[in-house]
Structure 1
Amino acid sequence: MFERFPINRRLLYLCLFLFFMNLLLILWVYLISKTNETKGTSDRGPGAKTASLRELASSKSFQIGSSVRFESFISERTYRQRVNQEFNMITIANELKFETIHSKPNQFDFSKADFLVDFAMEKQIHVRGQTLIQSEALPGWVTQGDHSKEEIKQMMKKHIQTIVSHYKGRVATWNVVSGAFNDDGSFRDNFWLRTIGPEYIELAFRWAHEADPHALLFYDDHQMERWNAKSQTVYQMVSEFKKRSVPIHGIGIRIQTDSDQQFSSHALSANMNRFSNLGMQVQIIDFDVKIKNNNLPFKENLKKQAELYGIALKACLSSSHCTAFMMQGFTDKYTRQQESFPLIFDINYKPKPAYFTLMHILSQNNAASRGGTSLVRFIYAHERRLLISTPIVV
């Protein structure tokens, strides 16, 4: 009995030692995790909090996002992380365009677009499909073949309905037709106009709606940030479509400008409200501000760039029917205009003044949700179809 006591005592000391070592380990893990949290937000600037553009926009029932590219997405983890962190909507930039997805007759390549859509669904990010029918960049088998008018109509119908049906219930919004008018309001010369006639626009919307009755269908164009010949023509087209029950739900206003230019927030808001009065949603899309090679210091140009981003976002938020602010990319690392630094993150993913301007505007009156038309008109109820097995780590 007396011989066992020293053994029990040694066991007690050992248990106490292990207990305190576990406590120290737990404390160490906690401190490391807090340090990593701090590092994760350190690139947003002094005094930055963990809020993101996505969180602030979502709290207002508003969509903010960027066009994304498959090659950048697949090659760089930081790119994917920024998309997931900052945006609640993406535009698929090129992977759904005619020459990419339907480059050969009777052959559709959905692989790259599927990859982006699957990621977005997993991360609860809305998807904007761009563009079903555009004025340019068509494959040769479409433009150079000897086809009758009826054959071309059936070709266009098959193209639209195959793509929209493939993403039924997964892509919330489609740019159905893009850039159909010149700045003077006349029809822009293109293959579809020459072969089918002006009715190609109406047909495109009807066929897209047949393929997915719940998707939001948009017409988009540039040079519509004010009331001019083009925006007046588009307004008249939408008015006629509404009278004939053509399924059109919104207008995308494409804005690419530069730091030397200025546009009126009032004029932009007024034009949005005109379309809103027709029952249309309005979205600013493909927005960027290129920095011109002028005599101003670079910091001053960054300030002017931020001001223009702010003017556009404020105008959108001032209209109850403006449901999204979409940019033409988000990092200067992946832009065709790299020398003009047009986006809100630099080539190292460091946020620029334009980013903080957007954050500030979205944070104002953040407790109250915006009124107006909700973007989401359906629930993603379909099973995701994973056609590419390449792993994504975010």
Structure 2
Amino acid sequence: MICSSINKAEKFRSIVRLVLQSFMFIILTSLISCSQTKDEKPVKVKSLKEAFEKDFYIGVALNGRIIDQSDSASLSLVKREFNSITAENIMKSSIIHPQRDSFNFELADKFVALGKNNGMHVHGHTLIWHSQLSPWFATIEDSFEFKDATEKHIKDLALHFKGVVDSWDVVNEALNEDGTLRNSIFLEKMGDEYLSLAFKWTSEVDPNAKLFYNDYNMTNPDKRQGAIRMIKKIQEKGIKVDGVGMQGHWHLDYPSLEEIEESILEYSKLGVQVAITELDISVLPNPWDLEGAEISQNFENSEEMNPYTKGLPDSIQTKLANRYKDIFKIFLKHRDKISRVTFWGVNDRQSWLNGFPIRGRTNYPLLFDRELKPKPAYYGIIGLKEKLDQLQTTN
């Protein structure tokens, strides 16, 4: 009875400590918000990677011109600001495995070398995805042959990059918005076991790599529950899943901060890391019925849908900066659960959102403008972190 009472008392004290820590964090971030103006810059401007080095990796997706070093200005910025990199396209099957009997590793090897030579975390994207899939997959009619070819695809890639790719998006975008499984070629040919097998095959070849499931709209409650069910089912088979990638293709007004925070908490209950992947915040109107990052969707351009062709108004620039700052408050609050925050592109000019879901638009979703200059959003999140560190030091 005495031991039981001691254990209960210690558990109560732990809960009280956690509540007090959360309360103090809320007070500190509120003080920071009240003390900053839209034009304020940090007293001591650090790089992103230096500012958040004790919290989580700060990553970025790289295009081919940065990887082959033909875009030297962007490359210099990447080396200065980021400590994690993801290949935007060149590790997708249509590029890296264009023919069933041959791989194209040249640019992917340069990508990995770039990361390792600069002490960066290297993230592989992606082993299994129904989109940008090599056409030869669709030519395989026999289910057993398709399964064997998929296994070989995964294992050949995992083996080639063993020890140099630190983490993988093993499966990308396998869910519908209602949480059911997408009717992809992999589901059609292999059934739902393709999900657990993909993680199993990758871990067999490279047991040290961290393995993630990655998807968009992961704050959507129905989709979130579907992802949780799927991951639990894989875990119940004794197969490791190390993390969930929440794609951050978000907007100025949604998803809500509450939805983002609740999702981080729910995924972490699975005993996995949470990575914020593909982060960018669109400032443009969203066409009716657009669903997340489904790249098959296209809409017509118009003045109404493309209002900022001559530059971003100060009011929207400030709104974007505040949106990033509010989101990063949540990330910092739950830094113990988040392993990586990766932006989907280096600067506004390179962003895929200029062409999605409407081609030819001018979007401003990232921290660096078209001339590679830091935007108010950049100074906002670094200033948030610096002032939070200062307040915690003095308290």
**TM-score range, shorter-chain basis?**
0.7 to 0.9
In the alignment, structure 1 residue 52 sits paired with structure 2 residue 47 = yes
Name the residue aligned to 1:244.
Answer: 237
- For 1:117, give the aligned amino acid: V
Q: In structure 2, the residue corresponding to 1:302 is in which secondary structure?
A: helix
* Residue of 342, 362, 385 corresponding to 2:365: 342
Aligned partners of 1:266 and 1:315 also within 8 Å? no
CA distance in 2, matches of 1:65, 1:169: 19
Query: After alignment, is 270-279 or 295-304 more displaced?
Result: 295-304
Question: After the TM superposition, which residues 30-179 of structure 1 pair with which residues of structure 2 at under 5 Å, given as runs?
Answer: 49=44, 51-58=46-53, 60-73=54-67, 74-143=69-138, 145-179=139-173
Query: After alignment, is 85-94 or 288-297 more displaced?
Result: 288-297
- In the TM superposition, residue 294 of structure 1 has moved relative to its aligned partner by 5.5
Residues 63 and 181 (structure 1), Cα distance of their counterparts in 2 relative to 1, 3 Å cut: same
TM-score, normalised to structure 2, is 0.77
- In the TM superposition, residue 117 of structure 1 has moved relative to its aligned partner by 0.8
* Residue of 264, 269, 277 corresponding to 1:277: 269
* Residue of 326, 344, 349 corresponding to 1:333: 349
- In the TM superposition, residue 47 of structure 1 has moved relative to its aligned partner by 6.7
Runs (5+) with no aligned partner, structure 2: 1-38, 285-305, 355-361
* Residue of 302, 309, 327 corresponding to 2:317: 302
Aligned partners of 2:320 and 2:377 also within 8 Å? yes
Runs (5+) with no aligned partner, structure 1: 1-43, 370-394
Q: In structure 2, the residue corresponding to 1:326 is in which secondary structure?
A: strand
CA distance in 2, matches of 1:216, 1:368: 34
Q: In structure 2, the residue corresponding to 1:272 is in which secondary structure?
A: helix
CA distance in 1, matches of 2:312, 2:116: 42
Select the structure of larger CA radius of gyration.
1
Residues 45 and 308 (structure 1), Cα distance of their counterparts in 2 relative to 1, 3 Å cut: closer
CA distance in 2, matches of 1:256, 1:109: 29
In the alignment, structure 1 residue 266 sits paired with structure 2 residue 258 = yes
Question: After the TM superposition, which residues 307-322 of structure 1 pair with which residues of structure 2 at under 5 Å, given as runs?
Answer: 307-319=322-334, 320-322=336-338
- In the TM superposition, residue 243 of structure 1 has moved relative to its aligned partner by 2.1
Q: In structure 1, the residue corresponding to 2:127 is in which secondary structure?
A: coil
How many residue pairs get aligned? The number is: 322
CA distance in 1, matches of 2:390, 2:211: 30
CA distance in 2, matches of 1:297, 1:149: 51
Q: Deviations over 1:223-253 (max 9, x none)?
A: 1125x11100111122222222111010000
- In the TM superposition, residue 336 of structure 1 has moved relative to its aligned partner by 2.9
CA distance in 2, matches of 1:363, 1:242: 39
- In the TM superposition, residue 267 of structure 1 has moved relative to its aligned partner by 2.5
CA distance in 2, matches of 1:275, 1:294: 37
CA distance in 1, matches of 2:185, 2:234: 22
CA distance in 2, matches of 1:111, 1:141: 20
- In the TM superposition, residue 325 of structure 1 has moved relative to its aligned partner by 1.0
CA distance in 2, matches of 1:53, 1:336: 22
CA distance in 2, matches of 1:218, 1:99: 21
Query: After alignment, is 153-162 or 304-313 more displaced?
Result: 304-313
Name the residue aligned to 1:363.
Answer: 386
Aligned partners of 1:313 and 1:325 also within 8 Å? no
In the alignment, structure 1 residue 204 sits paired with structure 2 residue 204 = no
- In the TM superposition, residue 287 of structure 1 has moved relative to its aligned partner by 0.9
Name the residue aligned to 2:288.
Answer: none
Cα RMSD after superposing both structures: 2.2
Residues 364 and 280 (structure 1), Cα distance of their counterparts in 2 relative to 1, 3 Å cut: farther
Q: In structure 2, the residue corresponding to 1:124 is in which secondary structure?
A: coil
Aligned partners of 1:287 and 1:328 also within 8 Å? yes
CA distance in 2, matches of 1:46, 1:196: 54
Q: Deviations over 1:195-224 (max 9, x none)?
A: 111111111000010110010000011111
CA distance in 2, matches of 1:266, 1:46: 27
CA distance in 2, matches of 1:48, 1:114: 39
TM-score, normalised to structure 1, is 0.77
Residues 327 and 119 (structure 1), Cα distance of their counterparts in 2 relative to 1, 3 Å cut: same
Residues 45 and 84 (structure 1), Cα distance of their counterparts in 2 relative to 1, 3 Å cut: farther
